[in-house]
Structures are given as C-alpha cells and as structure tokens.
Chains A and B, each alone.
Chain A
C-alpha cells in the first residue's frame, strides 16, 4: 500500500531534469555560440598577450614575461587610471542625481505625457553619437554659441575656455549616458504599486519618510543597474575624451587605443584592458551584492 503511494507520487513529479536541460541548450545555443566565438575567444587571445613582450611592429614575441604588469606601476599610467575612475564616478553620481528625479517625475506624468517624455529621452539615439559630441564642440568652442551668448549678454568680456578639460569630458559623458540611468529607474518607479506609498502615509509617514523607507529601497536596485550602465561605458570611453578633452586630458580608453594603434605595444594595451575588465567585474559584483542587501534590508 505504502509502496504504491510512493510510486504514484513519484510519477506525478515534474519531468526529469534532462528535459529542461535539453530545452536550455536548445534556446541558449545560438546566443552562447555567438558570444563565445565573437567575444570571449578573442578576448582570451588578447589577454594572453599580457604575458609576452611586444613585437617590433605590433604583435608579440612568444617569450614568457611579467614585465607588462610591472609597467602598470608607473605613476603616469596609474594617474590616468585614477583620473578615469574619478571621472567615471563623477559622471555616474551626476547622472544619478539628475536621472533619479527625472525618472521619478516622468513616472508621475499622465500617460500621454509619459510617452512624449520617454520618446524625447530616446530621440538622441537616432543620431550618431559622434555627431552629437561634435555638436557640443560647436556649442562650447571659443566662437561657439554659448560664448556668443555670454559675450552678447555682456556677462563675460572674453570667450571662456569651455572646451578641452575634465569638466567638458564629464559633461559629454553625462550627456551621452544619462538616459541609461533614467530608463531603468523610470521602469522601477513606474512598476511601484502606488498603494505602497499610500499605506506608508496612512501609517503616519511623512512624504519624505515614505520616500526613504518605501520608494527608495524598492527602486535602488534599478538605480544601481543604471549606475553600472553609466559607469562602465564612461570608464572605458575614448571618443568623448578625444573630442571634448582635446587630447589634453585622456582616460584609460585613449591610453589603450594609443598602445595598440600608436605605440604598437599590444601586450601593454592588453594589460591595460585587463585592468578595465577587472574594475568592471568588481563593480558588477558590488552592484549585485548591494541590491541583494537592499532587497533584504
């Protein structure tokens, strides 16, 4: 009797694991193949260059060395890496400070205005990133629109030096990646059940307290995702520092590019690339840990 029962309950279990595994392989295969062939293999090949000295005209000489890592210690390179971290961090912070209230405000709009606001945020993506950065040059250059306006209004006597410094880079990066901060936060605020805020108020919480105790914790994971989405491309960016930094101020991205294309030092370029990847990974892990913390606060 009891044997029968056991049997019956076993047959009613869900299908054995290999069925689901087969399904997983089937659906994941195309994406995984593309990822492995196009991204992971080249990356591993490139990273192996770190352990060899440079070839004379690019490429490498196959003799094992750790020389490239020792060179990282150079204050010149460390300085650029440090600057890049500071710039990317600043960009992320500013994007968060602008992006959160913007996303929050959009989520409160009536449906039609919501759509309009979202389209307005996406619209710049329809134009090439380079062109939009050049547009900033036109705006900010010595005889540019902003300076014309300032001198025209008599606010300044001489055109200001607006271009080609760290501030301009930060401006360009914030401009370029702000929407990556706004969109995830917007979707989190939008999904938030308005009854939760009402319940909080009903239990005696002021609007600010409600924001701190309910809205913020429930949207913070998305804000962290936005932060990573902004930080990573800002940290590795080389277009914006090149154009708006005018080559005076450079970031890791420019340095890596220079090692590969100008100095023809592939191994050291690969080493610098590794540094970036490591930072990115640390960041992703920190983000995952932080959002789990928040969720289980």
Chain B
C-alpha cells in the first residue's frame, strides 16, 4: 500500500535545480533510502516532506491527503536534521522529551519513553548534559533519539549515522530495523554510505542533479543498473563505451565484447562488476592486458589490469589472495549474462 506519493516535484534555487520532476511512491512500512552525490537534492526533498521547503511544481500526498497543505507542525512525519538542530538551551533529556510534551502525554510516560530511547542510543548517562557538552557522534544520537521517540507514521532521517563508529552504527542500524518491523514506522533515510543503504533498505532511489536515476531493490540496483550514472555510482564497475550494432556490442580499440544486447542500435555503455571478471590466458578472452597492481584486502584481492586501447584500468576482484604478480599478461573473461548494457 502506498503511504507517500510524490508526483512531479520540482524545486529550483535561482539557477540551481535542486529537484527536477521527482516522482516516487513509498509504501507503508517500507525502509526507503535516498542515495546520491553531495548536492543532488536529498535534503531538499526531505525538507519538502517536512514542510520547510515548497516545491515549485508537483504534489505530495500522504495517505491520499495533500501533504503540502498541512503546516509543518501538524504533519505526521519527523525529520532528523542533517545538522542535528538540537536545542542548545535544553538538556539531552529535555531535547528528547520536547516532541512528546507537545503531544501532551502524561509526564510519567514521557519520562519512561525518554529513558528508554536514551538507553537504546547509549546515552542514558548523558541525559543531564547540554548538546555543547557532547561529542559529534553523541549529538547525532540525541538527534536520532529525538526523532524516533515520537514514533511517527514516517521518519525522515538525513544522514542519521554518518558520525558514528562502526560498532555503534551497526547497533543503531539494528534499532532502526527493529522500529520498522515492530512499530511499523516507514523510513526515508538519506545516506552516503552505500553499504548501509544496501543492507538496510527495501528499496533505494539513486539521485543525481535533482533527478531520480533509478528506484529499485538493492540487489536489482547493483546487478541491473539502468543508467550509466547508477552503474558508475553504485559499487565499483568497469565501464566500456561503445556501439550497439546488429552483430553485438563493439568498443573502439577493443573490438566486440561479450554481452546480451537488449538495447537499440547506437552508443551504449557496458558495465561489468570486478567480481564478475575472471582472469585467464591472454588471447582467448574478451580483452587482453597487463597486470599493473595487486592489492589484498583480506577476504578479497583487487587486481588492476591495463588494457591497451582503454583509458581506465580494468578492475578485477578475486576471492582470497591473488596468485599473480604485476607485469603478468592476462586475458579478461566474463559471462555475457553478467555484463549490463546501459544507455550512454
């Protein structure tokens, strides 16, 4: 069931296009992530949903009702600000209690809920401190606690975990998933961390320059990017620009490359994930090259291969340590099914 539907929302700041005809449907109970480079309009979109920014064009409906007509303080959404926006004159506990006090809940209930949420974010001992007396990561957790304690229909989190270390971040991710499943809150989360988006989100929207490039489940997004930007932005990828012809896909300087051509004739880009590329004897693969660099990352190794006629190094990922040294001549192999062709 669709909870939030964003239809053709555009927003310009002077010449800067922050959002361009954004259309999205977010389902009730869904964990939805917004991913995209800095300045692509993620915060602007959340601010429109919270009511602090207005679209030049377009509609936003929540449960079928026009959200844009509701004043910010009546919207059943809570936004965690990218800059936290903690009240400097209130203690941590007061900051967190603020939203509950506005609901007019009984004092005792407010106290228990504030205590619970502070414990969940690991700040129960800091309840009496002021924001200025906290570290950046602690402030971020206060902001998170202040947003989630309200248990709204929909939580909008703008980079909620960016300042946390790996361990605390993992704990917070679990807590968010728990809120999604047990309380049934719908999440729209902005993140720069692709792994986080991949592991947490039911669906991810990739944005660039105010445009939605692709909306898909994490695996589909990773395996089947539909635009060049997504192929390049999500994870590591080897991209080859070439032409689709009746005979297949051909790259100038490299010749034909294995793939399934499901695009009309014309310029296109072939994307092959490093872990889909295998090394073999030169002469029989898709292309030949020379190993220039081998780096070991524990579980996997990355091998950079210089292919004459191709300006970017081709990246190959293998399990375990690579039994190959720089300087070796290799051939590159991949399954036609593992290569994705996207419009240029």
Those of A241-297 within 8 Å (CB) of chain B:
294-297
Query: Are B52 and A198 neighbours in the complex by a CB distance under 8 Å?
Result: yes
Give the docked Cα–Cα distance between A239 and B308 (Å): 91
Query: Are A193 and B85 neighbours in the complex by a CB distance under 8 Å?
Result: yes
From A6-14, A43-51, A201-209, give the one contacting chain B. Answer: A201-209
Those of A188-242 within 8 Å (CB) of chain B:
193, 195-196, 198-207, 209-210, 213-214, 217-218
Query: Are B73 and A201 neighbours in the complex by a CB distance under 8 Å?
Result: yes
Query: Are B81 and A199 neighbours in the complex by a CB distance under 8 Å?
Result: yes
Point out the residues of chain B lying under 8 angstroms from A207, CB to CB. 73
Point out the residues of chain B lying under 8 angstroms from A210, CB to CB. 73
B233 part of interface (Cβ distance < 8 Å) = no
Query: Are B89 and A203 neighbours in the complex by a CB distance under 8 Å?
Result: no
Known: A202-B50, A205-B73, A206-B73. A195 touches B85 (CB 8 A): yes
Query: Are B85 and A203 neighbours in the complex by a CB distance under 8 Å?
Result: no
Known: A209-B102, A213-B98. A202 touches B87 (CB 8 A): no
Those of B263-279 within 8 Å (CB) of chain A:
none
Query: Are A217 and B89 neighbours in the complex by a CB distance under 8 Å?
Result: yes
Point out the residues of chain A lying under 8 angstroms from B102, CB to CB. 203-205, 209
Query: Are B103 and A204 neighbours in the complex by a CB distance under 8 Å?
Result: yes
Query: Are A214 and B72 neighbours in the complex by a CB distance under 8 Å?
Result: no
Provide the main secondary structure of the chain A interface.
helix
Give the docked Cα–Cα distance between A134 and B138 (Å): 60
Query: Are B73 and A297 neighbours in the complex by a CB distance under 8 Å?
Result: no
Give the docked Cα–Cα distance between A204 and B234 (Å): 37
Give the docked Cα–Cα distance between A296 and B146 (Å): 20
Provide the main secondary structure of the chain B interface.
loop
Point out the residues of chain A lying under 8 angstroms from B83, CB to CB. 193, 195
Give the docked Cα–Cα distance between A23 and B122 (Å): 44
**Whole-angstrom distance from the CB of B23 to the nearest CB of chain A?**
24
B139 part of interface (Cβ distance < 8 Å) = no
Give the docked Cα–Cα distance between A210 and B146 (Å): 16
Give the docked Cα–Cα distance between A198 and B84 (Å): 11
Point out the residues of chain A lying under 8 angstroms from B77, CB to CB. 202
Closest to B73 in A: A201
Point out the residues of chain A lying under 8 angstroms from B52, CB to CB. 198, 201-202
Query: Are A214 and B87 neighbours in the complex by a CB distance under 8 Å?
Result: yes
Partner of B85, one of A199, A205, A206, A296: A199
Point out the residues of chain B lying under 8 angstroms from A202, CB to CB. 50-52, 72-73, 75, 77-79
Point out the residues of chain B lying under 8 angstroms from A205, CB to CB. 73, 98, 102
Known: A203-B150, A204-B102. A218 touches B50 (CB 8 A): no
Q: Mark B85-124, 1 if CB is under 8 A from A, else 0.
A: 1111110000000110011000000000000000000000
Query: Are A201 and B51 neighbours in the complex by a CB distance under 8 Å?
Result: yes
Point out the residues of chain A lying under 8 angstroms from B50, CB to CB. 198, 202
Point out the residues of chain A lying under 8 angstroms from B90, CB to CB. 297
**Whole-angstrom distance from the CB of B210 to the nearest CB of chain A?**
21
Query: Are B78 and A203 neighbours in the complex by a CB distance under 8 Å?
Result: yes
**Whole-angstrom distance from the CB of B94 to the nearest CB of chain A?**
9
Query: When A and B form their complex, which 10 residue pairs have the shortest distance between CB atoms, in order from nearest?
Result: A203-B99, A204-B102, A195-B85, A199-B85, A201-B72, A201-B73, A198-B52, A202-B79, A205-B102, A217-B89
30 contacts between A and B (CB under 8 A): A193-B85, A195-B81, A196-B85, A196-B87, A196-B88, A198-B50, A198-B52, A198-B79, A198-B85, A199-B81, A199-B86, A200-B87, A201-B71, A202-B50, A202-B52, A202-B72, A202-B73, A202-B75, A202-B77, A202-B78, A202-B79, A203-B73, A203-B146, A204-B99, A204-B103, A204-B150, A206-B73, A213-B87, A214-B87, A294-B89
Chain B residues at the A interface, C-beta cutoff of 8 Å: 50-52, 71-73, 75, 77-79, 81, 83, 85-90, 98-99, 102-103, 146, 150
Task: List 10 additional A-B contacts (Cβ < 8 Å) besides A195-B83, A198-B52, A296-B89.
Answer: A195-B81, A196-B88, A198-B50, A200-B87, A201-B72, A203-B102, A203-B150, A204-B103, A214-B87, A297-B89
